């Protein structure tokens, strides 16, 4: 196996390929900005107040589900289900936005 031509540089071709792909990748900053703008709008318009609150605590403030449950006086499973439903709703709204 050591005599194969692609093993000449000791596997460095994988790193070279990664660099090449990064240099030749398309710029998706416009799509990213549009997605973030639509995400903000969807969070405001499509989610219930409770879903917005839990998502804000979980993603924006970085609290764990147990901490959110304790703060709001609900079970951890309630927080988990609420966040899951909110994410599904946002996904449905944003799926065709790009």
pLDDT on residue 19: 78
Per-domain residue ranges for the chain? 10-94
Please give the residue that has the higher pLDDT: either 7 or 17: 17
67 burial via Cβ count (<10 Å: 0-12, 13-18, 19+): middle
- With 0.75 as the threshold, say if the pTM is over it: no
Three-class secondary structure assignment of 60-82: HCCCCHHHHHHHHCCCHHHHHHH
Range picked from 5-9, 76-80, 92-96 for highest mean pLDDT: 76-80
pLDDT on residue 64: 97
> Chain-wide mean pLDDT for the chain?
85
* Record: fold of 10-94: Arc Repressor Mutant, subunit A (1.10.10)
In angstroms, how far is CA 85 from the centroid of its own chain? 15
pLDDT confidence band for 23 (50 / 70 / 90): confident
């Amino acid at each position: 196996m050591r005599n194969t031509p692609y093993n000449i540089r000791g596997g460095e071709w994988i790193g070279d390929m990664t660099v090449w792909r990064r240099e030749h990748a398309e710029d998706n900053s416009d799509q990213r900005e549009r997605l973030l703008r639509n995400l903000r709008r969807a969070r405001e318009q499509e989610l219930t107040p409770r879903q917005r609150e839990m998502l804000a605590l979980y993603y924006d403030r970085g609290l764990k589900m147990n901490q959110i449950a304790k703060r709001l006086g609900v079970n951890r499973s309630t927080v988990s289900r609420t966040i899951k439903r909110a994410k599904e709703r946002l996904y449905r709204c944003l799926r065709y936005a790009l």
